[in-house]
Amino acid sequence: MDIMDTIKEQIEGNDILLYMKGTPQAPQCGFSAKTVQSLMACGERFAYVNILENSDVRENLKVYSNWPTFPQLYIKGELIGGCDIVLEMYESGELKELVKKAAAESASES
């Protein structure tokens, strides 16, 4: 399977997916730390990919998403954005609403 297929499969297979540096328990950069804190504060489970463990994903995700930086948050297959956008959405309440909706849809599908 080619790396672009792998990325597509990861995004389509997870309703809430964060590509980040490190893990939610041990973020490896400030931007990933702020983003994961905002996401965790929404109170729903989410998947993550530590891009530091896979250079192919790290380099090709920039091409796939046409977004040059990390972290990158995807909800229901759509790129939401990076740290600044996620923080703005969290502060406005929009992120929690989006995350709760995605989690509820996922629960009703299973």
Sequence ranges of the binding site for glutathione: 21, 58, 70, 83-84
**Cα 83 to the center of its chain, rounded Å:** 10
| Type of residue found at 82 | G
Annotated binding site: 21, 29, 58, 70, 83-84
Q: Is 65 exposed, middle or buried (0-12, 13-18, 19+ CB in 10 A)?
A: middle
Q: Which residues fall in the annotated binding site for [2Fe-2S] cluster?
A: 29
Alpha carbons within 13 A on the beta-carbon side of 61: 28
Q: Which amino acid is at 30?
A: G
